[in-house]
Amino acid sequence: MTSDLILANATLVLPTETLRGAVVVRDGAIAAIDAGPAVPPGAIDCEGDFVAPGLVELHTDNLERHIAPRPKVEWPHEAAIIAHDAELASTGITTVFDAIRAGSVATDGVHGYERYARRVADEILALRAAGALKISHHLHLRAEICSETLEEELAEFGPEDRIGIVSMMDHTPGQRQFRDVSKFADYLRGKHSLGEAGIEKYFDHLRGLSARLGPRHEAATAAAARRFGAALASHDDTTAEQVSASQAHGARLAEFPTTREAAEACRRAGIAVIMGAPNLVRGGSHSGNVAAQALAEADRLDILSSDYVPAALLMGATRLGAIWGDMARGLAAVTAAPAAGAGLTDRGRLEPGLRGDLVRFRMRGLAPALRGVWAQGRQVA
């Protein structure tokens, strides 16, 4: 018999309201939600702290940062995955869709990148099966449309891999995220130390790939998502026409639309808009695209992602709570909404019968301070 976990005298963040009360977790699942400030024997007195569902992360570059902490440096993968898992747990994330790039470039002679998706997916799945990870890991294949090997890499995966999300990533210079090619050039100079001649040669190679393979790769990505039973996501849609094309492919998530026009088109198409929490916290996009706060104020933001800063997810959610004047709604953008977007019905809300994934935090000015994280009732941070 396992002891119940009871977090009492807490400000519970429910789907549509906050309520002083207690949550009881038994055998890994929420057993009861009780109203009132009482602290039963054996319970943890939360002293009014917020208690919310564990955070659900749909798109993060964090694993790649651990695997390749510097250009041309590859860290041992098992150690990298375990460190990534522990870091996410420490920020309140209890479910993650690990973003893994499918599609590589090897022949431009300036800046290639090798294929790795199948190998890293196998390593994540093995660690998950061994019970070596603190939180719940799922796979998110980032299908690089502007690449050479996408189709053969997608063919290496099947429904048995339980891929939850497939996103269409198109980094052709001069469109979407890098509509301003100077931003792309700055990125290549800073991260990969490319000179001007190398940058122009690389851009020419990518444009050629896009012209030759782009439509074919988009169709292959949409077909793979259907084969896997995964949610299809667009990435960096900029125009209403691009949103219409994403809708025609079957996309139900839009990662980081770059303009208000695209976000408005997503709302009309019934596609959930995902924006980066770092964009919200910083007050703008590092690529010069639409500000997440502007979309939040216009009610055109549905889900937040930590993108490249795991700790930004909870902070972004509380910022949304302040913008909207509704903490429950702000937290839903990192719990219930992403869970629903990825088709997970067993988490993301404080309701009896759902997974006992919980975070406890209190506000320190504008910053949320985590005081405990539990995955299926087991404390992981």
**At 73, which CATH number?**
3.20.20.140
Question: In the predicted model, is pLDDT for residue 6 greater than 60?
Answer: yes
Question: In the predicted model, is pLDDT for residue 368 greater than 70?
Answer: yes
Question: What does the pLDDT read at residue 194?
Answer: 58
Counted domains in the chain: 1
Do the beta carbons of residue 308 and residue 278 sit within 8 Å?
yes
Classify 262 as helix, strand or coil.
helix
Percent of the chain at pLDDT above 90?
79
The alpha carbon dihedral of 298, 328, 95, 352 has a sign of negative
Do the beta carbons of residue 99 and residue 137 sit within 8 Å?
no
Give the burial class of 355: count Cβ atoms within 10 A of its Cβ; 0-12 exposed, 13-18 middle, 19 or more buried.
buried
**Backbone dihedral region of 172: left (phi > 0), alpha (psi from -120 to 50 degrees) or beta?**
beta
Poorest-pLDDT segment among 12-21, 67-76, 195-204, 313-322: 195-204
Span 136-153, average pLDDT: 93
Give the separation between CA 36 and CA 69, rounded to whole angstroms: 47
Give the burial class of 240: count Cβ atoms within 10 A of its Cβ; 0-12 exposed, 13-18 middle, 19 or more buried.
middle
Question: In the predicted model, is pLDDT for residue 5 greater than 50?
Answer: yes
Tell me, what DSSP letter sits at residue 3?
P
Do the beta carbons of residue 253 and residue 274 sit within 8 Å?
yes
Predicted model pTM: 0.91
Q: What are phi and psi of 325, to 5 degrees?
A: 65, 35
Write out pLDDT tens, residues 221-255: 999 999 999 999 999 999 999 999 999 999 999 99
Structural domain for 33, as ranges: 5-379
Span 160-165, average pLDDT: 95
Poorest-pLDDT segment among 45-49, 142-146, 180-184: 180-184
Poorest-pLDDT segment among 4-8, 281-285, 355-359: 281-285
Question: In the predicted model, is pLDDT for residue 208 greater than 80?
Answer: no
Contacts of 98 (CB under 8 A, 6+ apart): 60, 63, 84, 124, 137, 138, 139, 140
pLDDT range class, residue 350, cuts 50, 70, 90: very high
Question: In the predicted model, is pLDDT for residue 185 greater than 80?
Answer: no
Question: What does the pLDDT read at residue 311?
Answer: 97
**Backbone dihedral region of 113: left (phi > 0), alpha (psi from -120 to 50 degrees) or beta?**
beta
Write out pLDDT tens, residues 38-85: 999 999 999 999 999 999 999 999 999 999 998 778 999 999 999 999
pLDDT range class, residue 111, cuts 50, 70, 90: low
Question: In the predicted model, is pLDDT for residue 187 greater than 70?
Answer: no
Provide the residue type at 381 as one letter.
A
* Residues facing residue 140 across a β-bridge: 99, 165
Give the separation between CA 285 and CA 176, rounded to whole angstroms: 13
Length of the chain: 381
Cα 126 to chain centroid distance, Å, stands at 21
Question: What does the pLDDT read at residue 148?
Answer: 86
Classify 267 as helix, strand or coil.
helix
| Higher-scoring residue by pLDDT: 179, 238 | 238
Question: In the predicted model, is pLDDT for residue 197 greater than 80?
Answer: no
Question: In the predicted model, is pLDDT for residue 126 greater than 90?
Answer: yes
Query: How far is the CA of 353 from the CAs of 34, 103, 136, 137, 171, in angstroms?
Result: 14, 40, 17, 20, 42
Question: What does the pLDDT read at residue 199?
Answer: 66
Q: Calculate the average pLDDT of the chain.
A: 91
* Residues facing residue 95 across a β-bridge: 56, 136
